[in-house]
Structure 1
Amino acid sequence: MVAANIVAKEKELDDNNVFAVDDDLKLLKSAAIYGANASGKSNLAKALSFMKWFMINSSKETQSTEKIGVEPFELSTETEAKPSFFEIVFLLDGTKYRYGFEANQKRVISEWLSYVPKTRQTRLFERVSDGNSRNIKYLSNTFNGKDIYPKTRNNALFLSVAAQFNVEIAERILDWLTKKVNIVSGLDDQDHLSYTVSSLATNNDNKSKIIQLIKKLDLGIKQIRIKEAEIIAIEQSSYHFKTPYSIKTGHERFDKQDNYVSMKFFDLDSHESEGTKKIIFIAGLLVDTLKYGKVLIFDEFDARLHPLISKAIVELFNSKNTNYNNAQLIFMTDDTNLLSNKLFRRDQIWFTEKNKYGATDLYSLVEYKIQKDASFESYYIKGRYGAIPFIGDLSQLLGEPNV
């Protein structure tokens, strides 16, 4: 998320939403991606999620006969037989790396890694395949993986194999990817509950920050209790298992004179709303991302969240005070309430739109020349930036009414 050379209408956005890596490179703390349904927003998150999984696991969780989980673009005869292309550029310990690969369902066609140790980009390795044979076109002594490449299967990544054999650069890259980059969906919030629970179950600094976040979001929750459920016996077999931790939310009780009486605890799963549950599910993830300067890619970000709560979460990232370690949030959303020039610079807003051939274009609002006081939301709804659905005439959908 490289910042463009622009100035926001609100000067504080330039101060808070952007951070400098060096004299030449500035990055953004957040980016919102908008687009019509079926425009490709979620596919972007899915592609990134696959790339992360394949980089980490292809050497150890796939067999030589297994297909690679890529899907060619089949709406074009030009591309349906071509490999899928993946590439990321990232900073690791202050050094810029560029890594990518091309693959079809049968094999990795090419793979490359370079970095910028000082001022010039330098290749660490380049792998190519002509379909019948495979070879390393270039391998730097810095990467130190000369004896490892022959162990790399056609359907595995050399980077993944190198990490398995303790090549330091590969290990550090995959460790960063595993620990510092999270790709999640707002439709599967319960998957993120384990981190929140583990933080709340231990008396550490994250616990207090999670509870503080939940209190500040006006859910009426004053306390949270975590209790491990009892062991349950399964009558049909001799196995036993433990259910997950139960979460109790504490709400204040008052008498008829509105005086506080006591704290009443409710079961999160059966008594709280879906929106409240989502906030508690992701609270640990948000605190962890901000505290340790991680990257969070969030599909369906606004699902089951009030617009003001979505805005408050974005503001946590767009702030020097709460995001002092320069964590980054990239999210896919349909919540146009967030489309504000008081919240985002133009380079923080992106759109996905399918062209007439069914392919997705990803582009930024910074590509449009607009007045500084223009309403991002109003112009978007009016179709000034594209990336909206064009809905046909529905007035006669069910035919004439029966008289």
Structure 2
Amino acid sequence: MLIEFSVGNYRSFKEQVTFSMVAANLVAKDKKLDENNVFEIDDDLKLLKSAAIYGANASGKSNMAKALGFMRWFMINSSKETQSTEKIGVEPFKLDTETEAKPSFFEIVFLMNNKRYRYGFEATRDKVVSEWLFYVPKSRETKLFERKEDNIRVSKTYKADGIQQKTRHNALFLSVSAQFNVQIAERILDWFTNTVKVVSGLDDRRYRGYTVSCLIDNENKDEILHLLKKLDLGFSNVKVKESKFTLDSLPNQLPDEIKNFILKNVEKEAISVSVQTIHLKIDRKGNSVSTELFDLDDQESEGTQKVFALAGPLVDTLKDGKVLIIDEFDARIHPLISRAIVEVFNSKETNPSNAQLIFMTHDTNLLSNKLFRRDQIWFTEKNRYGATDLYSLAEYKVRNDASFESDYIKGRYGAIPYIGNLNHLLDSHV
């Protein structure tokens, strides 16, 4: 389970922001929100099942998802997919002379096997400046390792002596430890690989392959089809067709280099996959008489294609209690579908494994005290320095029965664009 995530330029009050899934000590308007939207870890810790992040364009919403996505990738791959001369893919804050030379800061707090872990690192484009891993075996936080550039101190529990010298300046010690079979590191990276997913709602086609593979392998197939039917996308079923093709069967007008690229690493033949939706055909009396197949790519809307692409990750997340972060959640899908997906996560019945959904959105229809507690609503806003401020609605003195959507549009919580006078936009004399 995700507890907190922090990112920014370390020790800079202007730059570091923290997002938390810890439930605040408040009472929602409807007690059902507390019963459904919150789950208890122990007497001292309750977590949220979902959270929405709002803000104007260019306010930093997407950067939160990108930062977590980069952190996840760097943890998993820095020891095996980077060379000693490669730059680290961090982006320093360039609008402040004080912070532009400082390292970027990443820290995440999470639950794995019922234990709380806190892991983080600081890095510039050239090197990892510091890195740390702590956990709570019983009641007190205990250090597993701590790094200051090339100086890495390891506890006996971590069992990684001798690996320090094998760690490059631009690689994470955690990642190197996993490469050398340190069990704690392996479990953490396995948790991040399989439990935390970061999805772009504008680039969702890349996730369609996962949904298709689930349908082919019958993994969560029934649940995926059930979800697609319940979201009223206009079709009754889905058909996935696999076709084998060889180099000779490709169109003659296709350049040889493209043919070779398509069949790269395939000796004789490859497999293409097409997805078709099944629609009912009716007669004059309204009776269904047969079915018609529509090609998902050519004959279905972009919104339908997006929901199909997300169906696999959504079901997988719900079924196994994982964490799903979706940027541009509302792009190309109807507000009622967005709301239905959120309601699935905010439910004991449909989310018994306490999966977590975090999304960035502009859809103010979801800003409702009937859907969210105040601590589930977050805002991003650029401050006077051009940096992102991140804050929760729980920080405001707001009545639980207030109209969150109306007050947000009126600017009472900030995080909206302040649009100038456009009356003379086309007046050439102004």
TM-score band (shorter)?
over 0.9
- For residue 231 of structure 1, the aligned residue among 227, 232, 245 is 245
CA distance in 2, matches of 1:182, 1:244: 26
The code of the aligned residue for 1:184 comes to: V
Distance 1:244 1:376, change over 3 A: farther
CA distance in 1, matches of 2:27, 2:70: 35
Deviation at 1:199, TM superposition (A): 1.2
**Aligned position for 1:63:** 83
- For residue 317 of structure 2, the aligned residue among 289, 298, 302 is 289
Matched, 1:305 2:333: yes
> Secondary structure of the residue that 1:334 maps to in structure 2?
coil
CA distance in 2, matches of 1:117, 1:65: 38
Matched, 1:275 2:275: no
**Aligned position for 1:389:** 417
> Secondary structure of the residue that 1:21 maps to in structure 2?
strand
The code of the aligned residue for 1:226 comes to: V
Deviation at 1:259, TM superposition (A): 1.1
The code of the aligned residue for 1:281 comes to: A
The code of the aligned residue for 1:231 comes to: F
CA distance in 2, matches of 1:33, 1:244: 38
Deviation at 1:263, TM superposition (A): 1.2
Matched, 1:364 2:364: no
CA distance in 1, matches of 2:280, 2:371: 34
Select between 62-71 and 221-230 the one with higher mean Cα deviation. 221-230
- For residue 287 of structure 2, the aligned residue among 254, 259, 273 is 259
Tell me the alpha carbon deviations over residues 316-367 of structure 1, each in whole angstroms, 9 at most, x when there is no partner. 1000001000000000000000000000000000000001110100000000
Deviation at 1:207, TM superposition (A): 0.6
The code of the aligned residue for 1:195 comes to: Y
> Secondary structure of the residue that 1:105 maps to in structure 2?
coil
**Aligned position for 1:98:** 118
Correspondence list, 1:208-223, <5 A: 208-223=222-237
Correspondence list, 1:188-203, <5 A: 188-203=203-218
Tell me the alpha carbon deviations over residues 42-63 of structure 1, each in whole angstroms, 9 at most, x when there is no partner. 0111111110000000000111
Deviation at 1:243, TM superposition (A): 5.7
Distance 1:400 1:165, change over 3 A: closer
- For residue 108 of structure 1, the aligned residue among 122, 128, 138 is 128
The code of the aligned residue for 2:74 comes to: F
Matched, 1:323 2:351: yes
- For residue 76 of structure 1, the aligned residue among 79, 96, 105 is 96
Distance 1:243 1:275, change over 3 A: farther
CA distance in 2, matches of 1:203, 1:65: 44
Matched, 1:135 2:135: no
> Secondary structure of the residue that 2:343 maps to in structure 1?
helix
Matched, 1:51 2:51: no
- For residue 123 of structure 1, the aligned residue among 143, 152, 175 is 143
Tell me the alpha carbon deviations over residues 120-144 of structure 1, each in whole angstroms, 9 at most, x when there is no partner. 0000010002xxxx211x3100001
> Secondary structure of the residue that 1:352 maps to in structure 2?
strand
> Secondary structure of the residue that 1:385 maps to in structure 2?
coil
The code of the aligned residue for 1:225 comes to: K
Tell me the alpha carbon deviations over residues 17-36 of structure 1, each in whole angstroms, 9 at most, x when there is no partner. 00000111000000000000
The code of the aligned residue for 2:282 comes to: F
CA distance in 1, matches of 2:282, 2:100: 65
Where structure 2 has 5 or more consecutive residues not aligned to the other structure, the ranges are 1-20, 264-269
Select between 194-203 and 61-70 the one with higher mean Cα deviation. 194-203
> Secondary structure of the residue that 2:42 maps to in structure 1?
coil
The count of residues paired between Structure 1 and Structure 2 equals 395
Correspondence list, 1:127-166, <5 A: 127-129=147-149, 134-136=150-152, 138-166=153-181
**Aligned position for 1:186:** 201
Runs of 4+ in 1 over 2 A off after TM superposition: 232-244
Distance 1:48 1:72, change over 3 A: same
CA RMSD of aligned residues (A): 1.2
> Secondary structure of the residue that 1:330 maps to in structure 2?
strand
> Secondary structure of the residue that 1:397 maps to in structure 2?
coil
Where structure 1 has 5 or more consecutive residues not aligned to the other structure, the ranges are none
- For residue 250 of structure 1, the aligned residue among 278, 295, 316 is 278
CA distance in 2, matches of 1:209, 1:221: 16
CA distance in 1, matches of 2:89, 2:190: 22
Deviation at 1:202, TM superposition (A): 2.5
Deviation at 1:218, TM superposition (A): 0.9
**Aligned position for 2:370:** 342
CA distance in 2, matches of 1:78, 1:8: 41
Deviation at 1:195, TM superposition (A): 1.4
TM-score (norm 2): 0.90
Q: Percent identity?
A: 68
CA distance in 2, matches of 1:203, 1:147: 45
Deviation at 1:230, TM superposition (A): 3.7
CA distance in 1, matches of 2:246, 2:95: 52
**Aligned position for 2:24:** 4
> Secondary structure of the residue that 1:214 maps to in structure 2?
helix
The code of the aligned residue for 1:362 comes to: L
Tell me the alpha carbon deviations over residues 51-94 of structure 1, each in whole angstroms, 9 at most, x when there is no partner. 00000000001110111111111100110110000000000000
The code of the aligned residue for 1:213 comes to: L
